[in-house]
């Protein structure tokens, strides 16, 4: 009996370990605007893993449909602009620099639609912008048009 209790405790401890996930986000050079990575989709041409890291190749419209699942984990995300030759330039995230420097803002995870609906869209999103231009992406026209693009691309209305 003691043997089973010890095995149960070991199993319980191992199952509580939090997974670490490293993500590489490749954004087209010169892109500014909202980026959304929508999880659990079947449309992405391929699911890219590089040395155990998740790699997201963001398309020109900023909406990536990814086969990856959103997991409970510690995420470490690195952002890069990438040119047509594959050259990467790091993008700063959440550090104060010049107001005209393009960097990453407002990282968020969420759900589009009713979270109880199995078809709802789980996503990771952020903005690529300078601080001076950031406000333009929070206008209702921009948000409405962006959401329409997502609904058209996914076939899910929310």
| Chain segment 78-124, per-residue pLDDT in tens | 999 999 999 999 987 655 456 778 888 888 989 998 878 888 899 99
pLDDT at 147: 92
pLDDT at 64: 93
pLDDT at 42: 79
Beta bridge partners of 27: 81
Q: What is the distance, to the nearest Å, from the Cα of residue 59 to the centroid of all Cα atoms in its chain?
A: 13
Beta bridge partners of 93: 104
Angstrom distances, CA of residue 63 to CA of 11, 29, 37, 52: 39, 15, 6, 23
Angstrom distances, CA of residue 74 to CA of 93, 124, 154: 17, 14, 27
pLDDT at 20: 85
pLDDT at 158: 83
Residues of the chain with pLDDT under 70: 1-17, 43-49, 93-98
Strands 33-38, 63-65: pairing is parallel
3-state helix, strand, coil in the chain (%, to 5): 20, 40, 40
Q: Report d(CA 117, CA 70) in Å as an integer.
A: 16
- Dihedral angle over CA of 131, 63, 108, 95, nearest 10: -30
Mean pLDDT of the chain: 83
């Amino acid at each position: 009996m003691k043997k089973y209790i010890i095995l149960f405790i070991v199993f319980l401890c191992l199952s509580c370990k939090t997974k670490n996930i490293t993500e590489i986000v490749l954004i087209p050079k010169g892109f500014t605007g909202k980026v959304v990575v929508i999880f659990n989709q079947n449309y992405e041409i391929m699911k890219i893993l590089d040395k155990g890291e998740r790699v997201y190749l963001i398309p020109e419209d900023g909406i990536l449909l990814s086969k990856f699942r959103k997991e409970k984990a510690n995420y470490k995300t690195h952002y890069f602009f990438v040119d047509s030759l594959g050259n990467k330039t790091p993008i700063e995230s959440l550090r104060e620099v010049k107001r005209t420097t393009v960097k990453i803002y407002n990282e968020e995870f969420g759900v589009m639609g009713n979270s109880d609906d199995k078809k709802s869209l789980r996503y990771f999103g952020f903005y690529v912008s300078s601080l001076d231009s950031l406000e333009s992406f929070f206008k209702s026209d921009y948000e409405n048009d962006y959401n329409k693009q997502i609904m058209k691309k996914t076939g899910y209305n929310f």
